[in-house]
């Protein structure tokens, strides 16, 4: 069974940066697409960014230009570089392996999440 473990969350001031990592075991990401999601209290989970095995990326409008998703299949890891953070970015961030190679595929495995808190 695939397991995803996120790391890199923490507390940062507005305007600062964090880099999240998600490492997959039990088969890795393979050729599947991967994505980062986030969920703030009282809000539904939203997709932040996705990346295909061919490194095609997509971003939510709220983070476009500030966040960068990347992957390194050699170490079964997906990254999310977050710059110019805003308090509105505060959420639990989850990584997910998607069911297929297509970036719009639904997730089939989730990490347990890492907390990102941005202070004003």
Task: Give 61-95 pLDDT, tens digit per residue.
Answer: 999 999 999 999 999 999 999 999 999 999 999 99
Please, what sign has the CA dihedral across residues 93, 99, 102, 106? Answer: negative
Query: CB of 68 within 8 A of CB of 90?
Result: no
- pLDDT classification of 47: cutoffs 50, 70, 90: very high
Please, what sign has the CA dihedral across residues 87, 92, 93, 96? Answer: negative
Pair of tokens at residue 49? 């960014």
What is the distance between the alpha carbons of residues 60 and 114, in angstroms, rounded to a whole number? 19
Nearest C-alpha neighbor of 104 from the set 54, 58, 55: 58
pLDDT at 54: 93
- Mean predicted lDDT score pLDDT of the chain: 96
Please, what sign has the CA dihedral across residues 67, 73, 9, 91? Answer: positive
pLDDT at 86: 98
**pLDDT over threshold 90, residue 4:** yes
pLDDT at 58: 96
């Amino acid at each position: 069974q695939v397991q995803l473990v996120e790391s890199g969350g923490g507390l940062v001031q507005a305007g600062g940066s964090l880099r999240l990592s998600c490492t997959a075991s039990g088969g890795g990401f393979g050729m599947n697409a991967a994505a980062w999601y986030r969920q703030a209290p009282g809000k539904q989970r939203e997709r932040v960014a996705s990346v295909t095995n061919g490194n095609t990326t997509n971003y939510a409008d709220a983070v476009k230009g500030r966040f960068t998703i990347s992957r390194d299949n050699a170490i079964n890891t997906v990254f999310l570089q977050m710059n110019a953070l805003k308090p509105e970015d505060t959420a639990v961030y989850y990584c997910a392996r998607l069911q297929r190679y297509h970036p719009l595929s639904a997730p089939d495995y989730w990490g347990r999440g890492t907390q990102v808190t941005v202070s004003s």
